[in-house]
Structure 1
């Protein structure tokens, strides 16, 4: 059944908000706890449809996970895995598909991974190719998309030390290679064109892996047993971003987002908004394992357009749809280039956001690798808008609708929001947005 949001313009955001746990960390915590020796307690895990797909995949290969009413999960690590009885369905989760490809290849578990229509259009050859170069047997469709088929290989095959230069900065490809390397006594070195998020490296180190980070180069030596490690999952900065931008552009807003992950490879959105004159204060900094956590206070402030430096593209790749909304409300022009990767997400995020913002009275120019947005006054369009089955588009346009001066916006096909931010509309209602799910 199709779902839609009805958003009324106006309102202000107030109070203290705790957004759900970090999706990237939740995926990795489940995977690494499953293959570690001993039992790991994961607290604050995101119970979104994407993460639940990873949980189901781990159970399909024989991992025992206990779920408690307080939201914690106790993962019983094992080294005895079984072949899944049937293909594993991963819904809309690109993270699950790419990281599990490396995990199942490394474990030598024959399996087929498939997903929904949206996931089945996303490029998977980019992860299959390096895994094949390592000696694994990983196949995609003729178009280089899902399903991904992992075949068993002769255990006597020797994989030599492996060096790989990523063609694009991608935490998912990097992570898939690192995870596959865990199970053989090889040295794997990966070089990135620019730094992508490093949750895999930090968490593997917490679990005891032999991993070294040197700038944009990561080296791992496999063959070392992972040891159980308890994890506190911080709030997801990608989810917090919708509230940060909303409070920045809505007059009278003043909110504090509690215990948000501020990993320096994920905080590009904070730096970019501060360049745009956002009033953001970082408070109560602390460490949880290898991850930085803090409270983020945001108050309304007039924004200005900026030219986004290339080094911030990988650091804010998931936050650009909502950043485009900030740009639409800023004085002057915001320019983005070197971001062609945005066209290969759950939707073509450059085109979809450009199309929607134009309907809301904003001047936009598209480029192959970016966009120019000239700020103005957002107006409610005369027609319903569509999420294009992209959760970040749905949440970004909801914030844009709140910033319009008058009227109600209908936003269709928002059910994919459950993939990353369950009950988004309820938390936005709590903060002060007039939003209804139908």
Structure 2
């Protein structure tokens, strides 16, 4: 399951024909991680359908096994988790390796903080650079102890609280991972855990807590959005149908918007309003983006999305939208390169602590391919226009799967092919990415070099 140490360079060229057809993308990564974790904390057996089987999620499955849950695959995307109940996880015999997944690592900190066990967690070279203090600081007030490397980085050791205290925490920055870690720790505490977030972030944790029978209250207050969780609930196993990941669908839909004559439908995509900032922004740019077959499954809104090629105009993206599209800025920047005028994306400081400094890397990706791009403070400015994307450059991915996928989509729309220095990491979140895009193109537009 480890990444290959040998880089896998790829190249994308303009396809001979427009993109077409109806396609499915892998299951939502955020929901897949949580399905395995809540299944492990529930009483009974949780049946999961549509689980993302990328490396990040498989790391979470392995960690839940190490913590005493029975986790087994029963078919493609079909998994079964026999849980141990809230507070019932056992001490792992070995180090928990979370690979490339920041979500898994941060949520697991919350899970471990509420259990009276000792555990050590590590990850790959990219994850070992990412800050963990933002989670461990609030979790320490529950009674858990953490030891980390300089700068709050993995490897990390945790001794969970024997009698965890409920948390009362106001997030300094909007982060679904920090919020979720606090709620996971609060599950094991007597009393009510309260978390206030300055901007609403993805609420898959709250939705799934309710789905498993916990009492969760949410209200908007002058200080921000308040989430209250009643501690020590009995979580009862419940089936979960994981929708297609909107962050993954974004790449296929963007490709259709950029390649003349294209029309593509992505079926069964999660449309949680706290995840659809990109789709809202694309519509503001004039994108032909429509939803059909809208429905609710497992507490989450789902639908089929169709994107059609057409002219686009530049927009200003407000900073308040960042939490609902934090993973989509690299692909939005590629789309903006073809729009009429100058697009400004505001308030992207959170991108500096993703898999890479995603803000600097996105600007560099555009510049390497002849697109005018600059960073002003925490804003990304992209100059689009008639010229479109010259291409011909190489994208430095910095072990970041979203940069790699954005670079390859850019190659489909550019005048000269675009190279990506390493596409190995795409498998962590979007297994079969190149094959799916090639199928939509009807030919091999994306190839290893």
Specify the TM-score bucket, using the shorter chain as the normaliser. over 0.9
* Residue 120 of structure 1 pairs with residue 128 of structure 2: yes
| 8 A Cα contact 1:162 1:186, kept in partner | no
| 8 A Cα contact 1:276 1:304, kept in partner | yes
Taking the TM superposition and a 5 Å limit, the aligned residue runs for 1:136-215 are 136-153=144-161, 155=162, 157=163, 159=165, 161-215=166-220
Identify the residue that residue 303 of structure 2 maps to in structure 1. Answer: 294
Question: Whole-Å Cα distance in 2 between the matches of residues 327 and 234 of structure 1?
Answer: 27
Question: Whole-Å Cα distance in 1 between the matches of residues 137 and 219 of structure 2?
Answer: 24
> Secondary structure of 2:91's match?
coil
Question: Whole-Å Cα distance in 2 between the matches of residues 317 and 70 of structure 1?
Answer: 29
Question: Whole-Å Cα distance in 1 between the matches of residues 104 and 72 of structure 2?
Answer: 20
* Residue 96 of structure 1 pairs with residue 88 of structure 2: no
Question: Whole-Å Cα distance in 2 between the matches of residues 44 and 193 of structure 1?
Answer: 32
Identify the residue that residue 399 of structure 2 maps to in structure 1. Answer: 389
Deviation at 1:71, TM superposition (A): 2.7
Question: Whole-Å Cα distance in 2 between the matches of residues 424 and 151 of structure 1?
Answer: 39
Identify the residue that residue 28 of structure 1 maps to in structure 2. Answer: 34
Identify the residue that residue 348 of structure 1 maps to in structure 2. Answer: 357
Rate the CA distance shift 1:365–1:410 in 2: closer, same or farther, 3 A: closer
> Can you list the C-alpha shifts for 1:213-272, whole angstroms capped at 9, x where unaligned?
113111101011100000000000000000111111111000110000000100111100
Question: Whole-Å Cα distance in 2 between the matches of residues 356 and 251 of structure 1?
Answer: 22
Question: Whole-Å Cα distance in 1 between the matches of residues 370 and 89 of structure 2?
Answer: 55
Number of equivalences: 433
Unpaired runs of 5+ in structure 1? none
Identify the residue that residue 220 of structure 1 maps to in structure 2. Answer: 229
Deviation at 1:158, TM superposition (A): 6.1
| 8 A Cα contact 2:246 2:270, kept in partner | yes
> Can you list the C-alpha shifts for 1:91-121, whole angstroms capped at 9, x where unaligned?
1000010000100111222101111111111
Rate the CA distance shift 1:426–1:264 in 2: closer, same or farther, 3 A: same
Provide the TM-score with structure 2 as the length reference.
0.94
> Secondary structure of 2:380's match?
strand
Q: Which moved more, 1:136-145 or 1:246-255?
A: 136-145
Identify the residue that residue 132 of structure 1 maps to in structure 2. Answer: 140
Identify the residue that residue 305 of structure 1 maps to in structure 2. Answer: 314
Question: Whole-Å Cα distance in 1 between the matches of residues 282 and 261 of structure 2?
Answer: 18
Rate the CA distance shift 1:238–1:228 in 2: closer, same or farther, 3 A: same
> Secondary structure of 1:32's match?
helix
Q: Which moved more, 1:117-126 or 1:7-16?
A: 7-16
| 8 A Cα contact 2:289 2:306, kept in partner | yes
RMSD: 1.3
* Residue 4 of structure 1 pairs with residue 9 of structure 2: yes
Question: Whole-Å Cα distance in 2 between the matches of residues 158 and 437 of structure 1?
Answer: 50
Question: Whole-Å Cα distance in 1 between the matches of residues 76 and 366 of structure 2?
Answer: 41
Identify the residue that residue 413 of structure 2 maps to in structure 1. Answer: 403
Identify the residue that residue 91 of structure 2 maps to in structure 1. Answer: 83
> Secondary structure of 2:139's match?
helix
* Residue 248 of structure 1 pairs with residue 248 of structure 2: no
Rate the CA distance shift 1:345–1:378 in 2: closer, same or farther, 3 A: same
Identify the residue that residue 335 of structure 2 maps to in structure 1. Answer: 326
Question: Whole-Å Cα distance in 2 between the matches of residues 365 and 61 of structure 1?
Answer: 46
| 8 A Cα contact 1:247 1:253, kept in partner | yes
> Can you list the C-alpha shifts for 1:184-203, whole angstroms capped at 9, x where unaligned?
11211111110100000000
Deviation at 1:152, TM superposition (A): 4.3
| 8 A Cα contact 1:425 1:437, kept in partner | no
* Residue 337 of structure 1 pairs with residue 346 of structure 2: yes
Identify the residue that residue 41 of structure 1 maps to in structure 2. Answer: 47
Question: Whole-Å Cα distance in 2 between the matches of residues 58 and 169 of structure 1?
Answer: 27
Question: Whole-Å Cα distance in 1 between the matches of residues 266 and 43 of structure 2?
Answer: 35
| 8 A Cα contact 1:101 1:148, kept in partner | no
Identify the residue that residue 78 of structure 2 maps to in structure 1. Answer: 72
Deviation at 1:367, TM superposition (A): 2.1
Identify the residue that residue 447 of structure 2 maps to in structure 1. Answer: 436
Question: Whole-Å Cα distance in 2 between the matches of residues 243 and 253 of structure 1?
Answer: 11
Deviation at 1:66, TM superposition (A): 2.1
Question: Whole-Å Cα distance in 2 between the matches of residues 138 and 169 of structure 1?
Answer: 23
> Can you list the C-alpha shifts for 1:38-61, whole angstroms capped at 9, x where unaligned?
111000000000000000000111
| 8 A Cα contact 1:22 1:234, kept in partner | yes
Unpaired runs of 5+ in structure 2? 1-5
